[in-house]
Structure 1
Amino acid sequence: MDELRRQLRQSAAAHRPDRERMLARVERGMSAQGKPAPRRSVRPSLRIAGAAAAAAGVLVAGGYGMSVLLHEHSRGAPTQAVAPARTVPPSRSSPPAPSTSPRGVRTEDGPLWSDGSVDPHSNDFWAQSNVTLKTTQPLTSLAVELRVARTEGVRPAGAWRTLPARDFVLTTKAEDGFLVYRWTLKGGRTVPAGSHVFAGQYHHARGGRDATADGYAATARSGDEQVAVRGDFAPRID
């Protein structure tokens, strides 16, 4: 027994005790005395190491999951492709609008003939400008523009045409120093062969008015042919 105590004291005094060696010595000493060897238990260090390993596994698994989530987040949601907008070509059923100011005179083109004149019933305060069109063939589209220079006192007083009013769209407005009347044939309507008049009426300052700066233009379609005419107005003769 004394030998056993001595060995235990020597083991405790060691700088780094070896638990396994100490237990082995105790077992040997007790066996020599005929006593059962004490039951070994799992070392606390092993339990701590196991817990640490388990915790590390959880951290590794959690870290992997977080890494996957962050990776997916950084990629962002898929972007949906947007189809390019379709550009609808303009309808060719109507002719382009006449130019804003007729240049030169061209009173005939294909089946279309034209003339501009100040109506003889005009007076010292009021006037009417007539655009006469003659066509030898039916027209499937037509746009007529009358431009009256805005001399002193000029303002609109009405408009008319010999063709049915329901077949045309009429606009009247001031534009670039002119009083402008525009007649546009509606889609699906036809102008028959013959002579047709488009008239714009307006007030003006007292006295005879000079119509030299006035003008007209018309564009039309006959079958597959696009035609255009333009002209001016002779000065009013008192």
Structure 2
Amino acid sequence: MRWLLKPLFSLFVILHVVFAYKPIIFMHGILSEPQEANTLFQWIKMDHPGTETFAIDMYNKLDSLVNMMEQVDQVGKVMMKFMQQHPEGVNIICFSQGGLVCRGVLEQNQHNVDTFISLSSPQAGQFGDTDYIKYIFPHVLRDNVYKIAYSKDGQNISVGNYWNDPHHQDLYKENSEFLAVLNNDTFNINSKEYKENFLRLKRLVMIGGKDDGVITPWQSR
């Protein structure tokens, strides 16, 4: 958790500016769980007592490796239900892989999100090394991950869904069933709808930095 504190401090400074007591939804990162939001929620409630907070309790730990489109679909149902209960609008904070889940939800639904904070999230895809890549593919070097990621089985793993190998863009565009679709890097029949939904946002805040510690080098996100 220590590696998360500096990005959270930067986020806390932003909270003073963009939040006006609207409810907050949090989506955790890969191989994590909703308790990842505990420190952040404590800060929010200290600064803005009474602010409603809601951490998504889905796809925790190993379940976070499930196909990203499935996660977007199921998490989206929960988030949209919460939004319907708060017609005045909500703000969302989504960490690491959770930022991609949230972005998928935003593009695929007519949401009422005011501010989307993407915290240390690989919105352009991942190619850099991480500890969890070694955990998921323990016998595969980074430059060879594409051989698995761009296979049918690899696209059933969340990391494979947003693996963006700059040396194999043809395979990425041909086989990526998630990131290439969200990024319009491949044909998407719903691209106009995705754009219109995403533009319903009033603010987009994207945070990354050298103290993140998840994806290395951090600029590869």
The alignment's TM-score, normalised by the length of structure 2, stands at 0.23
Report which of the two has the higher share of strand: 1
Report which of the two has the higher share of helix: 2
The alignment's TM-score, normalised by the length of structure 1, stands at 0.22
